[in-house]
Structure formats: C-alpha cells, structure tokens
Amino acid sequence: MIHKVCFSHGKLGTPDGGKIKYLSAIARQKGWQVESLDYQHTMDPDKRLEILRHHAPQGSGGGKLILAGSSMGGYISTAASNWLRPDGLFLLAPAFYLPGYKVRDPDPNGAQVVMVHGWSDDTVPPAHALRFAQKYQPRLIMVNSDHRLRDVWPIIGEAFGRLLDEVGGEG
C-alpha cells in the first residue's frame, strides 16, 4: 500500500523550495511517496488547477493521498479536492477569498484538513483563514509569523507529521 503526498507550491515558489524540501523529508521518513508539481510557467491559478487535475495524483493499492499546498498552492489543492478526493489537505497560508481566483469558496470536500496561517500575513489576511475555518472547521493553527512562515517550520513539521500519521492509520 503506497501513501502519497502531492505538493503544490505558491505563486512565486518552486517545486523544490525550502518548505517543500523540509516537509518532503518528514513524509519520506514516515514511508510516504512525494511528488512536487512545477507550476512556474504560469501565474494563473486556474491553469495551475487544471495542471493538478490533469496530473491526478492518487494513492495506489488502497494507499492514501494528501494534497499539500502553500499560498496559491493551498488554494489549488483545496479546489482540486472536489475531483481528486484526497484523504487529507495540508494548507500553509492558503490563498482563499482573493480576487482573480475562479473558485470563490473552495470546499475541502470531506478531507481531513490542517491549516497553518500567520497572524502577521499581509498577503492573505488572517481573516480569510478564520472565515474558512469557521465554515469548514479544519484543524487551524494560527502562528506568530508572516505569509512565508519561515520562522515556524518546527510547528509546521509537527502538524504535518501528525496529519500523515492520522491519515496513514498510524495515529
């Protein structure tokens, strides 16, 4: 049984950025396969959503799937959950309720959701995270950080590891 994590980077991020490398190491240590899609050729969130939908990552042989995304990647992962039906979503400062995004209120579609958001985020206001949390009730972790969440990696890593264990049946 193969469990898989599929990462979607943010608008200006890369598929091998620091957060993705850090979280990938945690996933691999727990026996999960890791994919990180490359969206750098387009800044259009709808085109990125189509890339993820076309790629259609999934666990195999009864394996589990977690979609993980940062900022625009969090939006894309959540919007794609309607088609891909992941077992979990791991969202870092997801770009919800911003102008220019086709899916105005992305529904996590029953997946187990963990969301980390910074109180000092000036790219995606904390109020957007709270709005999403009030409606969908994810495990919301608000931290003293900005949009990039650089100074809270240990908190992010612990939350991610816990989600992997819970979804993978080890928690």
Is residue 5 a contact partner of residue 58, using CB atoms and an 8 Å limit? Answer: no
Question: Which pLDDT does position 61 carry in this prediction?
Answer: 64
Euclidean distance between the first and final Cα of the chain, in Å? 17
- pLDDT (tens place) for every residue of the chain, 171 residues total: 889 999 999 999 999 999 999 999 999 999 999 999 999 999 999 999 999 988 877 655 678 999 999 999 999 999 999 899 999 999 999 999 999 898 989 999 878 999 999 999 999 999 999 999 999 999 999 999 999 999 999 999 999 999 999 999 865
- Collect all residues with Cβ–Cβ distance below 8 Å to 90 and sequence separation of at least 6: 5, 23, 66, 67, 68, 69, 114, 159, 160, 163
pLDDT for the residue numbered 143: 98
Question: Rounded to 10 degrees, what is the CA torsion of 58, 60, 62, 67?
Answer: -30
Query: What are the structural domain ranges in the chain?
Result: 4-167
The pLDDT of residue 10 is 97
Q: Which fold has domain 4-167?
A: Rossmann fold (3.40.50)
State residue 60's pLDDT score: 56
> One-letter amino acid identity for 57?
P
Q: How far apart are CA 38 and CA 64, in angstroms?
A: 22
Predicted TM-score (pTM) of the model is 0.95
Which residue stretches of the chain are H helix? Answer: 18-29, 45-55, 72-84, 126-136, 153-167
Cα separation, 89 vs 92, in Å, equals: 10
What separation in angstroms does the CA of 133 have from each of 16, 91, 95, 114, 139? Answer: 28, 12, 13, 10, 8
